[in-house]
A and B are shown apart, each in its own frame.
Chain A
Amino acid sequence: MAETSTPETRVWRDELRRRWALASPAMIVITLFSILPLMVMVVYSFLAPGLYGNVIWEFSLRGWAGVFTERDLFDDTLGIAWAHVTILGRSVALALATTALTLVFGLPTAWFIATRHPSTRAFWLFLITIPFWTNLLVRTIAIQEVIRADGTINRILLSMGVIDAPFAMMFTNGAVLLGMSYVFLPLMVLPVYAAIEKFDFRLAEAAYDLHASRLYCLRRVILPLMKPGIVAGSILVFIPALGAYVTPRLMGGGRAMMWGNLIDLQFGQGRNWPLGAALSVVLTLVVAGALVWYVRATAAKGGRDG
């Protein structure tokens, strides 16, 4: 009793209360817009599907069972849901490929901007942000205009006589990758730029003075210092690419399903909301897993380098 009312503990308690009060707006926002919707998703995944969509409010594991297993359509044997494995694999592969491609194009771009004269950098950054002014759908349709049968590339190649029939690029995996990379490129350039901008070029000069080759300097001096930017950019690209819905559908013609399209199917014609909710939770878990992996990987490497 006496201990709890000493002046120090009172001050400490007041301090604690003040911190909670100051943090509460942020916590309310997170609860309202992040935790509650997630909870709705989790709860729905444990309900029974209604006959025509929606849910019946009774506990059921059918949604979760449907994520991993499927009953054979014709002989009613229970097996692993290979369709879902295929689709998840395809989504992850596409997201990884998109991340790699945006890195290949984003790194030189960011380097170019960061090495301009400080007075012109703002202008180049401004150019990178211009695509953000336009809706995702519009940007995707714009890139279609370039690769379609009657599009820019085909018209140029035809007029130059390189090909004599339009070259089919629309509705292919390459088209999906192109569209995704185009759409997500700025998300890679900006964090990488931020990392390069802070780079002290005297360090590179020092490396040269110590007879490092250009490649050795890039590998041992520049890349390690750019790593936080590259990791941040990769996360920013990989996560939305994993759940991408519009771009694969438009560029790929909706023929090869992605995880996002599979979720959409359950809420639409599939009329299985609990399965759709369970699939959404799986996506969230995969993303969370990727984040944890990134954090661990960078923390371990950072320790060794530092």
Chain B
Amino acid sequence: MTRTAILAALSACLALPAHAEGRLNIFNFGLYTPPELLEQFSAETGVEVTLTEFAANEEAIARIQAGGHGLDVVVVSAYYIPVYLEQGLLLESRPDQMANFANVAPGFRSVTGDPDRHYTAPWVWGTTGVMVNTARYSGDINTAAIFLDPPDELRGQVNLVPQMNDTIDMTLRYLGAETCTSDREALREARDLLLVAKPHWASVDYPSFEKFVNEDLNASIFWSGAAGRIREANPGFAYGWPATGYMQWTDNAAILADATNVENARLFLDYIMAPENAALISNYTRYGNAITGSEAFMDPGLLDSPELTIPAELVGAAIDQRLCPPEVQELYSRIWTEVMR
């Protein structure tokens, strides 16, 4: 009896690697992956998918650098791809040669940090602007003053999302300076303005959506798609594009250099470039995607939802999210520590 038990245990151990071939570990931003997409992918391929979430690119890369993570696919903001590449963290998986790459819209076949799409497949694109509860404040919301010089009605109810580059970029543009400037006078002004504004913020965090829905917080730097999801739960909230400059970005899926389930990861990258699957992602995240033909599968009203419809006069104010040269990045970092202390 014992011998059969041991044999059974041994064979179970031997069976494990075979089982592991049917796995895929995905590392994505929080509230960014439709459960339906993973269920369908599992049903169609037999691959068992595990999802792990993070809040920021910096947090994700710190975990990957630490090693022993067991992750296969990571979603990276386009501007942050060079950081991954410089450290050799991504596998050259050639999404540009995958079957579904033909669906990628021409404007997205090249992206900052991965011009030939040798490493990444598009996930979604969107903007970072401001979100305001218009039941509390009815003035103009197309301005960075919402967080830099909040109107009386919003003071003490503003959240700042702790995205260093986005915040400092928008602050510099609000002051009339260029992003990634090395002009110390402009940077000093940006720091001073942030320090003056700080007492008016309630929190500096990646807040859960319900904090807005329940009106614990009534304004924030925020992402277009996430703002759409909050508006559906609390119609008072509206999304604004600061006229002096707001962020525009794309997020992309890549395979890690030390991935253990490379073939499944390739399958997944190809899978998300299929129109019906890209539409699933858009329907869930409320962001636009880069896949032509996905429109047919999208929820009615999503494409012309207020958050995705940038007013014509504000289209030019978009700032492409990018990493500054190292010496400026260092100054950003020090300003940030001073403001956050």
Give A residues with C-beta under 8 Å from B: 51-54, 73-74, 83, 86-87, 148-150, 168, 170-171, 249, 252-255, 257, 262, 265, 267-272
**Is chain B's interface secondary structure helix, strand, loop, or mixed overall?**
helix
Q: Is the CB of A268 within 8 A of B65?
A: no
- Return A43 CB to nearest CB of chain B, in Å: 15
Q: Is the CB of B340 within 8 A of A148?
A: no
Q: Is the CB of B334 within 8 A of A52?
A: no
Docked CA distance A269–B323 (Å): 13
Q: Is the CB of B61 within 8 A of A150?
A: no
**A265-B326 contact given A74-B188, A255-B198, CB 8 Å threshold:** no
Q: Is the CB of A268 within 8 A of B58?
A: yes
Docked CA distance A87–B83 (Å): 30
From A87, A252, A268, A272, residue with most partner B Cβ within 10 Å? A268
Asked if B75 is an interface residue, CB under 8 A from chain A, the answer is no
Name the residue on A nearest B160 (C-beta). A255
**A150-B216 contact given A268-B59, A269-B56, CB 8 Å threshold:** yes
Name the residue on B nearest A149 (C-beta). B216
Q: Is the CB of B86 within 8 A of A265?
A: no
Name the residue on B nearest A86 (C-beta). B341
Interface flags for B316-335 (1: CB within 8 Å of A; 0: not) read: 00000000001000010111
Question: 21 A-B contacts, Cβ less than 8 Å apart?
Answer: A51-B86, A52-B61, A52-B86, A54-B87, A73-B184, A73-B188, A73-B191, A73-B334, A149-B215, A149-B216, A170-B216, A253-B159, A253-B201, A253-B203, A255-B201, A267-B62, A268-B58, A269-B162, A269-B164, A270-B337, A271-B58
Docked CA distance A251–B338 (Å): 21
Asked if B205 is an interface residue, CB under 8 A from chain A, the answer is yes
**Is chain A's interface secondary structure helix, strand, loop, or mixed overall?**
loop
Asked if B293 is an interface residue, CB under 8 A from chain A, the answer is no
- Return A304 CB to nearest CB of chain B, in Å: 43
Name the residue on B nearest A262 (C-beta). B341
From B56, B62, B156, residue with most partner A Cβ within 10 Å? B62
Asked if B249 is an interface residue, CB under 8 A from chain A, the answer is no
Name the residue on B nearest A251 (C-beta). B203
Q: Is the CB of B341 within 8 A of A83?
A: yes
- Return B233 CB to nearest CB of chain A, in Å: 13
Docked CA distance A168–B326 (Å): 41
- Return B196 CB to nearest CB of chain A, in Å: 14
Q: Is the CB of B337 within 8 A of A54?
A: no
Docked CA distance A295–B59 (Å): 39
Q: Is the CB of B337 within 8 A of A265?
A: yes
Q: Is the CB of B333 within 8 A of A269?
A: yes
**A-chain residues with CB within 8 Å of residue B331 when the two chains form the complex:** 73
